[in-house]
Structure 1
Amino acid sequence: MFVPDSLRTAVAVAVYWAAIALGGSVLLSDPTSPLVAVPVLGGGAVVAHAARADRLVELGYAVGTMWIAVLALSIGTGVVDIVAPPDGEIAPLADYPGVAAIGTFGLVAVLVAAYAAFLRRSAERGTAE
């Protein structure tokens, strides 16, 4: 079955943007927080660049890297909760506004840094061949 390249690109853009918006806002306890704009707009800018530059493969790797950071953060929080609990269970990280803000910006920074690294790696491979 033939699928036009424009449709493939549109579906990839929508999936990547949704993955970035969900992953980047995982630390926000309030879905109506103004901080939701950080992963939505930041992710939109990265996705728009990748779509225009035809670098969706590199974007896919960057999104995967961001989700690895989400997983590491989740596991790290669980380990702290088990190993060093204070007088009870620790509150979820999302309940602390400072942590949620730093984490949200940090996850988008991981995305941007990974995307830049994969673009550089792709350019180096292109010149080496």
Structure 2
Amino acid sequence: MSLPDSLRTVVAVAVYWAAIALGGSVLLADPTSPLVAVPVVGGGAVVAHAARTDGLVPLGYAVGTMWIAVLALSVGTGVVDVFVLPAGAIAPLADYPGIAPIGTVGLLAVLVAAYAAFIRRTAERGGEGPE
């Protein structure tokens, strides 16, 4: 049994928007911060564009790229905590001043740049998905 295209699109939009909102706000120490609007509204705009222009496949790759950036930040923070900071001192990345706005906007910028790159790559290949 296959799903209708409209239902598939709605599910993809919901999943991508949730993944962007969660990944983009990972650096916010306070989940009620006004900065949470950056990934929610910005991600919503990117998802809306992708849904209107049939760019959900490139958006999926862009969301994956954004999550790779989140993973790189996490691993980088862990490496700094283990090898640079004194023994026993753990400094979460979100506690540093200025990291939350820079990181939140930066992760959205990674998403937008990756989405633009995958859209361009798809157009160069004649409309087929990235491989």
TM-score under structure 1 length normalisation: 0.94
Cα distance in 2 for residues equivalent to 1:88 and 1:100: 24
Name structure 2 gaps, 5 residues minimum.
none
Q: Quote the residue 2:62 is aligned against.
A: 62
Matched, 1:109 2:109: yes
CA RMSD of aligned residues (A): 1.2
Identity, in percent, stands at 83
Q: Quote the residue 1:20 is aligned against.
A: 20
Render the CA deviation track for 1:77-113: whole Å, top value 9, x for unaligned. 0000011014741421111241111000000000000
Name structure 1 gaps, 5 residues minimum.
none
Render the CA deviation track for 1:11-57: whole Å, top value 9, x for unaligned. 00000000000000000010000000000000000000000001100
TM-score under structure 2 length normalisation: 0.93
Cα distance in 2 for residues equivalent to 1:123 and 1:70: 27
Q: Check conservation: 2:81, 2:91, Cα contact below 8 A.
A: no
Structure 1 segments of 4 or more deviating over 3 A? none
Q: Counterparts of 1:1-129 in structure 2 under 5 Å?
A: 1-86=1-86, 88-126=88-126
Number of positions where the alignment pairs a residue of Structure 1 with one of Structure 2: 127
What amino acid maps onto 1:28 in structure 2? L
Q: Check conservation: 2:27, 2:93, Cα contact below 8 A.
A: yes
Q: Greater helix percent: which structure?
A: 1
